[in-house]
């Protein structure tokens, strides 16, 4: 009788064991382009970002508007046992260089993950700051970020970090229907000086929460980039705040333990810079930098060209562009009220 019971139960045990062994992996492992509708499309590289679940296809065309709309047929390798929609081999169309395509990858055990495919090129998308999307905190409270949507945005700010205190230091500024980025320094909760910032990359909310006394832990700087511009051009206007201070934590490990305040000579300055890097795993090598610092300007916008200084002949894999209203804001140094308005960033090439 016991033997018969065991034989009856055994198939159910095997089925249960198989269910428990189903994979929870829903990654895109490899992505390549098998066919493309426009042979003038100059593909530079393809990057898979497993942290933010993105696939970047870099292309080198200069006159980018002439190659759209464009249809590509990708070959996609995913985790064993997983499924993807749209499927590998299914044609997809980009009508504009800022478009993105979402892929849903479902693991063998049913867990879903959204991966976003987008294009990058020799100019950083939306660097004229015309497009902004809204992040809704509650039904009545939200803030704005540069880009068409979170999924496609290549720019980020610290608004998510200061939103706890209803402080938003980066916001759109419009003159005659021309949108720009206004970046300001303010106080935020326990912090006497919180510099506004706009940068290429992502704001790391987990880093901000786990290490609140280190502002740099909240930023994942850089986006994929494979070219070597000679300079960058932009329009800006800057006004320094009245009280230039340095705030120092009383307890270096406690953001809420209070600050000492030192009033400084001189005035606050804005900082605008771009860094080109070659990244390989954990190894990061800076190969070029363009850096600009300014104190208060006049009431009119100034057009500025800043050259890249190269320290290596290697080619980059990433670019970080940063605008901040207080140059030393990551050390809690600056002036509340300092305001930087930025518009029309352009990367200039010699050819």
Q: What angle do CA 251, 255, 258 make, to 5 degrees?
A: 60
- Contact by Cβ (8 Å): 203, 156: yes
Q: Which residues contact 283 (CB under 8 A, 6 or more apart)?
A: none
In the structure encoding, which two tokens stand for residue 253, read together?
A: 């490990």
Q: Please name the residues in contact with 290: beta carbons below 8 A apart, sequence gap of 6 or more.
A: 231, 232, 273, 274, 306, 307, 308, 309
Give the pLDDT of residue 66.
86
For each successive 10 residues of the chain (351 residues), what is the average pLDDT?
A: 48 52 93 94 93 94 88 97 97 92 96 95 94 89 91 93 90 96 95 95 83 81 96 98 94 87 96 97 95 92 97 97 96 96 97 69
SS3 content of the chain, % helix, strand, coil (to 5): 10, 50, 40
Does 3.40.605.10 match the CATH number of domain 28-120? Answer: no
DSSP bridge partners of 258: none
Per-residue confidence (pLDDT) for residue 271, from 0 to 100: 98
DSSP 3-state of 191: strand
Give the span between the Cα atoms of 57 and 48, in whole angstroms. Answer: 9
What are the φ and ψ backbone dihedral angles of 219, each rounded to 5 degrees?
-125, 130
Chain centroid, CA 228 distance in Å: 20
Closest alpha carbon to 81 in 29, 116, 31? 29
For the chain, the domains span: 28-120, 132-348
Q: Exposed (0-12), middle (13-18) or buried (19+): which is 1, by Cβ within 10 Å?
A: exposed
Q: Please, where are the H alpha helices in the chain? A: 2-20, 159-162, 205-210
Neighbours of 42 (CB within 10 A): 12
* 280 alpha carbon, distance to own chain's centre: 19
Number of H helices, E strands in the chain: 3, 28
124, 123, 302, 270: which is closest to 183 by C-alpha? Answer: 270
> On the CB side of 24, how many CA atoms lie within 13 Å of its CA?
1
Residue 314's Cβ-side half-sphere holds a number of Cα atoms within 13 Å equal to 16
The answer to whether domain 132-348 has CATH 2.60.40.60 is no
- What torsion, rounded to 10 degrees, do the Cα atoms 168, 101, 284, 271 define? -30
Please tell me the pTM assigned to this model.
Answer: 0.89
CA 202 to chain centre: 3
Q: What is the DSSP letter of 282?
A: T
Interstrand relation of 112-120 and 54-59 (parallel, antiparallel or unpaired): parallel
- Same topology for domains 28-120 and 132-348, yes or no? no
Q: How many whole angstroms separate alpha carbon 127 and alpha carbon 347?
A: 10
């Amino acid at each position: 009788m016991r033997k018969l019971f065991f034989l009856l139960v055994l198939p159910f045990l095997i089925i249960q064991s198989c269910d428990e062994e189903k994979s929870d992996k829903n990654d895109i492992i490899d992505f390549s382009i098998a066919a493309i509708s426009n042979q003038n499309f100059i593909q530079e590289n393809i990057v898979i970002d497993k942290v933010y679940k993105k696939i970047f296809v870099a292309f080198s065309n200069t006159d980018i508007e002439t190659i759209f709309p464009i249809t590509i047929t990708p070959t996609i390798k995913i985790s064993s046992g997983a499924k993807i929609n749209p499927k590998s081999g299914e044609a997809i169309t980009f009508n504009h260089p800022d478009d993105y395509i979402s892929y849903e990858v479902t693991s063998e055990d049913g867990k879903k993950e959204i991966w976003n495919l987008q294009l990058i090129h020799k100019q950083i998308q939306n660097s004229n700051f015309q497009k902004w999307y809204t992040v809704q905190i509650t039904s009545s409270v939200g803030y704005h970020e540069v880009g068409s949507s979170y999924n496609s945005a290549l720019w980020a700010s610290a608004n998510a970090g200061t939103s706890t205190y209803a402080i938003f230091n980066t916001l759109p500024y419009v003159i005659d229907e021309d949108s720009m980025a206004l970046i300001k320094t303010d106080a935020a909760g326990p912090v006497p000086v919180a510099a506004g910032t706009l940068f290429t990359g992502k704001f790391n909310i987990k880093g901000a929460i786990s290490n609140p006394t280190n502002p740099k832990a909240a930023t994942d700087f850089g986006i994929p980039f494979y070219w070597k511009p000679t300079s960058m051009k932009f329009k800006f206007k800057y006004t320094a705040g009245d009280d230039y201070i340095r705030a120092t934590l009383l307890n270096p490990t406690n953001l809420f333990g209070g600050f000492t305040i030192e009033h400084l000579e001189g005035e606050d300055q804005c900082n605008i810079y771009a860094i080109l890097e070659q990244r390989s795993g954990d190894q990061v090598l800076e190969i070029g930098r363009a850096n600009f610092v300014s104190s208060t300007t006049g009431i009119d916008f100034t057009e500025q060209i800043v050259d890249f200084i190269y320290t290596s002949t290697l080619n980059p894999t990433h670019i970080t562009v940063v605008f901040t209203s207080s140059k030393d804001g990551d050390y809690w140094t600056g002036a509340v009220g300092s305001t930087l308005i930025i518009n029309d960033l352009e990367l200039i090439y010699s050819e």
